[in-house]
Amino acid sequence: MLVVEDEADAREMMREIVEMGGCTATLAANGVEALQVLASLRPCLIVIDLVMPVMNGVTLIEELRRQPALAQIPFVVATSAPERAPAGAPVLTKPIDMKALWGWMQRTCRCTSAAPLLA
């Protein structure tokens, strides 16, 4: 999983939740960092915060959709303001509900390592 979140504590918490769900988390603090990661990594799911410095979530999603190599990677927008998410983008409402995140991981994980805690 790739977690794109500018707030360090929240980012770290997300990493732990992902790991508790049986997956590995790679972290990025903004859209630019995320694109750098994606140059060499194909995560099963990208969790994207909307409001971030340098490159925000909306721009990152536009980039993902624009680049054919990235367009197929599932992503979910983590936001407390779902109405601000780009049209058609799936939303994981903040505050993050652990079970909801694990649900997303379970649905998108290709390596089937996710979900032992969901049973």
Partner 1 sequence: MTSATNVIRFPSSPTADESTHAGAHRHIGREFLAQPAQPSHFVQFYEEEETLFEMVSEFFVPGLRAGDRLLVIATQAHRDGFMRRLGASGSDTAVKSGQLTLLDARETLSKFMVDGMPDPDRFRSVVAGLISSVKRGHPEACLRAYGEMVDLLWRDGHSDAAIRLEELWNDAGQEHSFALFCAYTVGNFYKEGNGSRFFDVCRNHTHVIPTESFTRAKTLEKEIAHRTELEEALRGALRKRAQVEEDLRECLRREQDARAEAEAAIQFRELFVGMLGHDLRNPLNTMLNTGRLLLMRNEVVPEGRGRVERLIASGVRMQRMIEQLLDLTRARLAGGIIVNRTFQDADPIVAKIVSETRIAHDGREVTYLRQGDCWASIDADRFEQIASNLIGNAITHGSADKPVRVMLSGGALAVQLSVQNSGEPIDAQLLPHIFDPFARGEQPKGRSDGLGLGLFIAERIAAAHGGGIDVSSSTDTGTIFEATIPKHERPHK
Distance in Å, CB of 20 to partner 1, minimum: 6
Distance in Å, CB of 7 to partner 1, minimum: 6
Closest to partner 1 by CB, 98 or 115: 98
What own/partner pairs with CB < 8 Å and gap ≥ 24 does 35-43 have? Answer: 35/60, 35/63, 37/2, 38/2, 38/70, 38/73, 41/2, 42/73, 43/1, 43/2, 43/73
Closest to partner 1 by CB, 32 or 117: 117
Q: Return residues touching partner 1 (CB under 8 A).
A: 7, 9-10, 13, 16-17, 20, 80-83, 93-96, 98, 117
Would you state the structure tokens that stand for residue 46, as one six-digit string? 């990208």
Element at 2 (helix H, strand E): strand 2-4
Distance in Å, CB of 12 to partner 1, minimum: 8
Distance in Å, CB of 46 to partner 1, minimum: 19
Closest to partner 1 by CB, 21 or 43: 21
Alpha helices (runs of H) in the chain, residue ranges in sequence order: 8-20, 31-38, 57-66, 68-71, 98-108
Closest to partner 1 by CB, 33 or 49: 49
